[in-house]
Structure 1
């Protein structure tokens, strides 16, 4: 008995025109978000992409509120300063 084939990446099974449409829709949704929300989302994406480059601290209060603080020593390029 042989092992099952590796699952192909999503990009390889979704037609290009569908991916383009999804990317345009996502870009339109993101453009509607306030700048601070986009900045927070970008910081979280960087944490997911390169966890070693980010420091993360999660604080949870007794009332149940949470605060995630992300910090990096990497200096952003001028285009990404907010």
Structure 2
């Protein structure tokens, strides 16, 4: 059993390759999610503008994180 690693009851002969593949798959999924958000916001420019304004208000301490959450939910309901 030397140089073998256990994962879910099975053995991985080359953990570096296994985790490299997992990382590549995760990166690909993240790219797909990012593209989905990009398309979502592109179809809703008013929504994007309101969310950006909310973000800047939070960043500049004009609103609290709790208020940001509440307002973001309201904006989301308005555009969905």
Interval of TM-score (by shorter of Structure 1 and Structure 2): 0.3 to 0.5
Structure having the larger proportion of residues in strand: 1
Structure having the higher Rg:
2
